[in-house]
Chain A
Amino acid sequence: MTRIAALRATTRRRIAGAAAAVRAARPRTTRGVVRASLKAGALVVALAIALFVVGSAAAAFYDQYGFHPERNAHTWAALEPSYVDGAICQTCHAGEGAQLETSRHQTVSCEACHGPLGEHAADPVSAMIPIEAPPDTLCATCHSSSSGKPVGFPQVDVATHYRSGVCRACHDAHSTAVVRPPEVSHPLENLPACTTCHKPEGLKALPAGHEEAADPVCLGCHGAGADGLHGGER
C-alpha cells in the first residue's frame, strides 16, 4: 500500500513541478506574449502543412491505386466494338437487305457470314474490305445434318447432297431462293456420254463451276423428274 501511496505522491509532485515550470516560463511582457503566440502559431501552421502534404499524397496514392470499380467499368466500356449492328449495312447494300427481308435468312445478321464489319462500316471507302463471299463450307457449318440440331431446322447430309460443296450454284444466300438446273432439252436414247459434246472444246461448253463427270452425276440434276435435288432433307 505504501508503495502505491509513495508512487502517487511522486507523480503528484512531478505534475506540480511541471505546472510550476510552465507557469514560470509564461511570458510576462507583451513582446513575450506575441513571440510565444507566433511560435505556437508557426507550429500549428507547420503541422497543418505537414498534414496537408501527407493527406494529399495519401489521397493521390489511393486515387491511383485504390479500389475504384466504377472507373474500371468505364475502361471496359471504352473499348471499340468490332461488330456492328446489322441494320447499318442496308444503308449501302439495300439490294441484299431487301432480299433478306423476306427470305428464310432474315434472322441471320450480315456479320454472321461476313465476319466483323466494324471497320468497314466506319469507313466503307478506305476500309473497303473486298467482302469475298464466304466459302461454301460456311453453309455446311449450319446446314450439315448432325445429331443435336432441332428437327425442323433445314439440314442436309452434305456428302450425299446434290453437287456437294458447291452450294451457291443453286442456292442464293440472301434470298434463299433455289434455282433448279434446267432439265435436258433433248432426248437421251442412243447418245454417247454427256462429256462427248459437253466439254470445253465441244458443242456446248460446260458452264463455270461444272466439272466433267460421269453420266449419272449429270442426270442426277438434269434428268427428267430428277429427285436427287435435295437428297437427305428431313
Chain B
Amino acid sequence: MNGTGPSVSRRGLLKGGLLALPALAGSRMLSALVSSPDDAVAAAAAPGTTAAYDPALHDWAFVCHADRCIGCGLCVEACKLENHVPLDPEFNRTWVERHTVTEDGEVLVDSPHGGIDGFPPESTAEGAEGARTKEAYFVPRLCMQCDNPPCVSVCPVSATYKSEDGVVLIDADRCIGCGYCVVGCPYGARYIVPSGEETPIGTAGVADKCTFCYHRITRSQQPACVEVCPVGAREFGDRKDPASPINVALRDDRVRVLKPEQGTEPRVFYTGLEGEVG
C-alpha cells in the first residue's frame, strides 16, 4: 500500500498483463497487414505473361555487327510497329547510321529518317559531296542498357530503373517528363513521347526508349529488330545461358562498346567499327 519498494504486487502484475496484451495484438495485426512485395508482384502478374519468368536467371546482352549491316532499315520499321513508336522520324528507339570515312580521316555520319526507308546510294552528310571515300559502313544504334546508367542516377523520382536481368526500364506512371534522363544519355537513346502519341503503358509526356522488347524476351522470343534483320547484323542472347550464341560472339568477335570514356558500361557491343563513333 505504501508503494515505495520495487516489489511487484499482484495488482501490478494484473495491470501490466492487461496493458501488454492489447499492445502485442496491435503490433501483430500491423505487421500482417503490411503487404510483402512478393505477394504484390504475384498478384500483379498479368495473365499470359510468364509469371514463371525470373529476371535473376537471365543476363541479356546485344551484339551489333557493323560489318554485316546493309542499312535496309527493316529493324527500324519493325521496332516502330512492335512498340508503337511515333512514326515521326525524330523519335526512334533504334536507328541506323551510315559512317563514311573520307581520305582525310574525317568520319561523316548520315541517317535519313533514322534509316527506316533505307539509304540513298551516296552519303547525304554535310561535306560528303565530292569527298573521296576511304570506306563506309552501317552502324545500328539503340539504347545501350548500361550497367552504370547515367539516366537512372539522374531521375529525380526514380522513375527509370534497371531490372535484375539488365534492362533499363521506365515506370510511365511515375515519370514527370522533366527530360533530365533525355539530356543525360550520352547516346541519345531516349526521348519524351510527343503529344498526340501514347506508349503502350503510358501517355504522352513521359520518357521512352528501347526496352530490348522486354515483353518478347520474357517469352523466350527475340527483340523485333533482331527477328527481322535479314543478315544477322543484330544478335541477342542471355549471357547466363552457356548454349546461347551470344557468348560465342562476345568471346570471339573482338567486340567493343561505344563511348567507353563515359564510363557507362554498356550491354550493347559492336564489331566491325573503324575509329570513333560519336
Q: How far is the CA of A80 from the CA of B53 in the complex (A)?
A: 16
Contacting residues, chain A, for B68 (C-beta < 8 A): 150
Q: Is the CB of A80 within 8 A of B215?
A: yes
Residue in A52, A55, A77, A142 whose CB lies within 8 Å of B53:
A77
How many Å from the CB of A233 to the closest CB on chain B? 15
- Residues of chain A at interface, number, CB under 8 A: 58
Q: Is the CB of A48 within 8 A of B214?
A: no
Interface status of B123 (Cβ within 8 A of chain A): yes
Q: Is the CB of A116 within 8 A of B49?
A: no
Residue of A nearest to B99 (CB): A148
Residue in A73, A111, A148 whose CB lies within 8 Å of B100:
A148
Counting contact residues on chain B (CB < 8 A from A), the size range is: 35 or more
Contacting residues, chain A, for B67 (C-beta < 8 A): 150
Q: Which of A121-163 contact B (CB under 8 A)?
A: 140-142, 144-150, 153, 155, 157
How many Å from the CB of A73 to the closest CB on chain B? 5
Contacting residues, chain A, for B60 (C-beta < 8 A): none
Interface status of B262 (Cβ within 8 A of chain A): no
Interface status of A79 (Cβ within 8 A of chain B): yes
Tell which of A81-89, A197-205, A218-226 binds the partner. A81-89
Contacting residues, chain B, for A76 (C-beta < 8 A): 169, 201, 211, 214-215
Q: Is the CB of B71 within 8 A of A73?
A: no
Residue in A55, A63, A73, A82 whose CB lies within 8 Å of B169:
A73
Contacting residues, chain B, for A45 (C-beta < 8 A): 22, 26
Q: Is the CB of B15 within 8 A of A71?
A: no
Q: Knowing A141-B74, A148-B98 touch, does A72 contact B121 (C-beta < 8 A)? A: no
How many Å from the CB of B201 to the closest CB on chain A? 5
Contacting residues, chain B, for A73 (C-beta < 8 A): 55, 163, 167, 169, 214
Q: Which of A23-44 contact B (CB under 8 A)?
A: 23, 26, 33, 37, 40-41, 44
Residue of B nearest to A26 (CB): B3
Q: Knowing A59-B33, A71-B40, A76-B215 touch, does A112 contact B74 (C-beta < 8 A)? A: yes
Q: Is the CB of B119 within 8 A of A148?
A: yes
How many Å from the CB of B159 to the closest CB on chain A? 9
Q: Knowing A37-B14, A83-B78 touch, does A148 contact B30 (C-beta < 8 A)? A: no
